[in-house]
Amino acid sequence: MKISLFNIANFRVDGGAMFGVVPKVLWSRVCSSDENNLIVLTLRSLIVETDGHLILVDTGWGDKQDEKFFRHVHLHNGEGLITGLQKRGYEPENITDVFLTHLHADHCGGAVKLNKKGNGYELVFPNAVYHVSRTHWEWAIKNNLREADSFLEENILPIEQSGRLNLVDEECELFPGFFVRMCFGHTPGLMIPVIQYNGKTLVYTGDLIPTIAHIPLIWNMSYDIESLKTIDEKEQLLKESLEGNYILVFQHDEKVECCTVEMTPKGIRAKEKFGFSDII
Ligand SMILES: [Zn+2]
């Protein structure tokens, strides 16, 4: 197996929304915000080569929406989706599998682009199978007021229309060494990849534990649909991570790519922090 991690782009989001009920006096000690209370998040994608598959995990925001939309997102820095792949020797045509943890716009937008005529949409990875959990797909196409700004038709429907959608029914080993864990607190059917690599267990924590600051059980995003489920799911994963010495890989943490965990008097917390390049 060959794996790599790269940051598509940074974006900004309201710090209060990222930390839910945690007061700013507490979260501001570990995460800085600007004059509009915005904090910086990354959009790290994982590339996994295994058993003839070239798998891309999540695709960032993409570029289909208008200038007004992206004004609120504040994209900056990062390698870009396509250039990040190319820097590692891959073209979009080479990707055999796009694994979407869920269909919120910052995770799946880069999978679909405007066609050349600008009158319709096409897939960015034309030869790939697109994996989404069945629970989440059915939830997303129904949509709901709480997540309406995150589930965008133009990000979702073209995938189904292409005939390249694979719905994942349950937790499984989707590819050799690439396991899927299902979560329901952030949004129903969020898929978390757990990867066995060189005797290590890597967990791409996605929106379950978006940054290292979200390891404490009640430090959760107000975007979560069911906070109590998020707490249970984090608790279970963190316990296993402690026992199995798992490496957590953060999608959204501006500063920290990976960490291990340890037990402290306050509960499970980060132990060693390191870069992804230290484990490959
Ligand atoms: Zn999300």
> What angle is formed at CA 248 by the lines to CA 246 and CA 251, rounded to 5 degrees?
160
Distance 9 CA to ligand 1 centre (A): 16
If you measure from the C-alpha of residue 51 to the centroid of ligand 1, how many angstroms do you get, rounded to a whole number?
A: 29
Q: How many angstroms separate the Cα of 155 from the Cα of each of 54, 65, 123? A: 22, 10, 10
Ligand 1 centroid – CA 122 distance (Å): 23
What's the pLDDT score for residue 131? 98
For residues 113 and 63, is the Cβ–Cβ distance under 8 A? yes
- The C-alpha atoms of residue 190 and residue 173 are separated, in whole angstroms, by 16
Determine the distance separating the centroid of ligand 1 and the alpha carbon of 85, expressed in angstroms. Answer: 23
Question: In angstroms, rounded to a whole number, what is the distance separating the alpha carbons of residues 97 and 225?
Answer: 28
Question: What average pLDDT score do residues 35-41 get?
Answer: 98
Compute the distance from residue 103 Cα to the ligand 1 centre, in Å.
Answer: 7
At 17, the pLDDT band (50, 70, 90 cuts) reads very high
pLDDT, tens digit, for every residue of 136-148?
A: 999 999 999 999 9
How remote is the CA of residue 221 from the centroid of ligand 1, in Å?
9
Query: Can you give the pLDDT at residue 21?
Result: 96
The encoded tokens of residue 108 equal 């799946």
Binned at pLDDT 50, 70 and 90, residue 247 comes out as: very high
Mean pLDDT of the chain: 98
Kindly give the distance from the C-alpha atom of residue 207 to the centroid of ligand 1, in angstroms, as a whole number: 5
pLDDT value of residue 161? 97
